Chain A
């Protein structure tokens, strides 16, 4: 009797307050991408341009949470993904964007929109289309429950590949040795 071929797992990805470097690193798994597409299909992701997340098996989040829109996207991912993963330093710790955390938000915004050289009569944008910034940039686990963390800035292609193949094969993902070593 033929067993039915296993269902492809649905994977969604997003970059919040990140630089897309983790997504670039994801693409760095190179020819493994061919193996990967045999095992998964993408839901919302910069790779598919699908705008809303549907029910998924795995969600990968790059970047921390810096504004209201980030919160909405992250919550949508959490609602829809069985497994949610913080991908890279910014998602894990807040990373580079969180360096603004020791500067009051007002000072940050005024410096950029009002006092910077070359800015005349500037004002802080108040268009309702724009998401409001949070007072501090937060790692994603401070806003939703997160199942796994992949550290690194960015995590290397091999680290992401190892993590995903563990997950796809039903092993608890585990990075060790060189995959956690950064120079």
Chain B
């Protein structure tokens, strides 16, 4: 085992000290430790394990779980192309190839001089300004051949990232339609003041009257969640803002955190007031790390204004503060119990529920986990009252919804609509034409075909966390479904067999069809796998994984059928080619040394 240089040891010890040698901080410690050398050498993991008193396997297990933690060198420039279907539609594969050619490297392999590696990553939440990439964690959008040429040159010159043109890192909000939330101009603290004036119970009653439901997609009643945590025994209680916006095609939280961070943090404080919580976490996905400095600045400003800390707004006993925890590239951490595991410094494996986090969450304490948008919405309720909020939207879906619109349309971006808006209206507003399909709710959501565009965005019809990806008549919906299947296979946490194996098998079948080996029998097997994933998986990732295939098989079946080369069965590989090596080794080329690919040919 290599010995760590003393300077590295000093940096590590400094990081460990800042995190008070807490094992719950392991993920944060690893993220920071990785900054030292750009990756996590074995000796670094050993040092951290010893310092935290953790088994080394536990530390390596965490380091191996998260996509953005590297236990192998990845180069001084780590380039990750966002690989959502919307990036693919904008030509990310061609750009990735172009960059690799210019840098003389193979995709996925570190250059021989250890300078650079280029590969893909899951959706980075820049679908409205793709194709996008992350360079050493910094987001760059609107990639073009010109920009790729410039980036190749900057890397070759080994120019530090800080000296790259600032416009590369310019991320636009692209807000196209404002309604109640995005149109709100609220001085920080106003909503909190209103809620405090109502008292804790009065404020919770307003929340109950509002009928606010979770904006993360599941639509659980927020007030019920808050009341459960309030009434649960155990302290100190915890408020978590789930900003692990990993659902492909979703980027509304990016915009809220970029330009409405005060509303989000105020919402967390409002939740803390109702629940009686004293500790808050914002769990920020690693892809949005570039937002960290400005978010920390907002927190500092709110602390200085007496909106965080002890005795908030002069209320004795209203003590609440917020810490930001970074994720490191794991979609499954958007699931609330996996997120809590991650907050505790572990692998993001979803827990068995019940018990639900409201009774046993972070470190076994009552914990409220709310979506970014949900929390921001609570400011509207505090300011305008629950009844007024409940009067907007539809009967079962009060208020507005932010839609993250991307794909084939003239004006991708953020659109805020009252619940109940029909798909057709949204398509018209964003300038979509010849629309073949819309994927609502991201990879795990629902694929709507043209005959369903009269349907409405609402929990009672088409529920969504906000992703809205548009595919026009030129797109092949099989490719769309296959991209999502690849996504789920990559993001499966590996804990339960149905999901770990099932997503991988499903990927195998989709690739078999894509490679021109498809057969009718595969469609039957895909059906069977869809059911298995849906019914046997441990968490929502596995049970949602077949959704894109189920929907497209039902609504765009010809896209699959045209790929079939046999109406019965077809191997996924070329049998004669499988004998080639043996032919070469034996020098044989007689008829017995060959196999026909199709059985009928050899009868």
Residues of A within 8 A of B (CB): 68, 71-72, 75, 78-79, 104-106, 109, 124-126, 128, 131-136, 142-145
Chain B, residues 586-603, CB within 8 Å of chain A (1/0): the string is 111010110100010011
> In this complex, what residue of B is CB-closest to A106?
B585
Bound-complex Cα distance A83 to B313 (A): 76
Nearest first, the 7 A-B pairs at minimum CB distance are A126-B586, A145-B569, A132-B582, A134-B578, A105-B581, A128-B590, A75-B599
Q: Which residues of B contact A106 (CB under 8 A)?
A: 581, 585
Bound-complex Cα distance A149 to B344 (A): 42
> B573 contacts A126, CB within 8 Å?
no
- Is B575 an interface position by the 8 A CB rule? yes
> B599 contacts A79, CB within 8 Å?
yes
Q: Which residues of A contact B586 (CB under 8 A)?
A: 124-126, 132
Q: Which residues of B contact A128 (CB under 8 A)?
A: 588, 590, 592-593
- Is B568 an interface position by the 8 A CB rule? yes
Q: Smallest distance from the beta carbon of B366 to chain A beta carbons, Å?
A: 40
Bound-complex Cα distance A135 to B575 (A): 10
How many A-B pairs have beta carbons closer than 8 Å: the answer is 59
Bound-complex Cα distance A68 to B591 (A): 11
> In this complex, what residue of A is CB-closest to B576?
A68
> B578 contacts A135, CB within 8 Å?
yes
Q: Which residues of B contact A145 (CB under 8 A)?
A: 521, 568-569
> In this complex, what residue of B is CB-closest to A131?
B592
Tell which of A75, A135, A145 has the most Cβ of chain B within 10 Å.
A145
- Is B571 an interface position by the 8 A CB rule? yes
Q: Which residues of B contact A104 (CB under 8 A)?
A: 581
Bound-complex Cα distance A125 to B85 (A): 50
> B592 contacts A71, CB within 8 Å?
no
Residues of B within 8 A of A (CB): 521, 568-569, 571-573, 575, 578-583, 585-588, 590, 592-593, 595, 599, 602-603
Known: A128-B590, A128-B592, A144-B569. A135 touches B582 (CB 8 A): yes
> In this complex, what residue of A is CB-closest to B573?
A142
Q: Which residues of B contact A133 (CB under 8 A)?
A: 582
> A126 contacts B578, CB within 8 Å?
no
> In this complex, what residue of B is CB-closest to A145?
B569
State which of B568, B582, B592 has its C-beta within 8 Å of the C-beta of A134.
B582
Q: Smallest distance from the beta carbon of A71 to chain B beta carbons, Å?
A: 6
> A78 contacts B579, CB within 8 Å?
no
> In this complex, what residue of A is CB-closest to B569?
A145
Q: Which residues of B contact A124 (CB under 8 A)?
A: 585-586
Bound-complex Cα distance A78 to B600 (A): 12
> B602 contacts A135, CB within 8 Å?
no
Q: Which residues of A contact B593 (CB under 8 A)?
A: 68, 128, 132
> In this complex, what residue of B is CB-closest to A113?
B585
Bound-complex Cα distance A125 to B290 (A): 63
> B575 contacts A109, CB within 8 Å?
no
| 19 A–B pairs (Cβ distance < 8 Å), ordered by A | A68-B592, A71-B595, A75-B599, A104-B581, A105-B585, A109-B585, A124-B586, A126-B588, A128-B592, A128-B593, A132-B579, A132-B592, A134-B575, A134-B578, A134-B579, A136-B578, A142-B571, A142-B572, A143-B571
Q: Smallest distance from the beta carbon of A133 to chain B beta carbons, Å?
A: 5
> In this complex, what residue of B is CB-closest to A104?
B581
Q: Which residues of A contact B575 (CB under 8 A)?
A: 71, 134, 143
> A105 contacts B569, CB within 8 Å?
no
State which of B521, B571, B572, B588 has its C-beta within 8 Å of the C-beta of A132.
B588
* 9 further interface pairs, Cβ-Cβ under 8 Å (given A128-B588, A132-B583): A75-B602, A78-B599, A79-B599, A105-B581, A126-B588, A128-B592, A128-B593, A134-B578, A145-B569
Q: Which residues of B contact A79 (CB under 8 A)?
A: 599, 603
Q: Smallest distance from the beta carbon of B430 to chain A beta carbons, Å?
A: 45
Bound-complex Cα distance A104 to B593 (A): 19
Bound-complex Cα distance A166 to B590 (A): 45
> In this complex, what residue of B is CB-closest to A78?
B599
Q: Which residues of A contact B569 (CB under 8 A)?
A: 144-145
Bound-complex Cα distance A72 to B593 (A): 12
> In this complex, what residue of A is CB-closest to B579?
A132
Q: Smallest distance from the beta carbon of B15 to chain A beta carbons, Å?
A: 39
Q: Smallest distance from the beta carbon of A44 to chain B beta carbons, Å?
A: 17
Q: Which residues of A contact B595 (CB under 8 A)?
A: 68, 71
Bound-complex Cα distance A134 to B573 (A): 12
> In this complex, what residue of A is CB-closest to B584?
A106
Q: Smallest distance from the beta carbon of B565 to chain A beta carbons, Å?
A: 14
Q: Which residues of B contact A134 (CB under 8 A)?
A: 575, 578-579, 582
Bound-complex Cα distance A125 to B586 (A): 7
Bound-complex Cα distance A128 to B571 (A): 25
> In this complex, what residue of A is CB-closest to B586?
A126
Tell which of A68, A72, A136 has the most Cβ of chain B within 10 Å.
A68
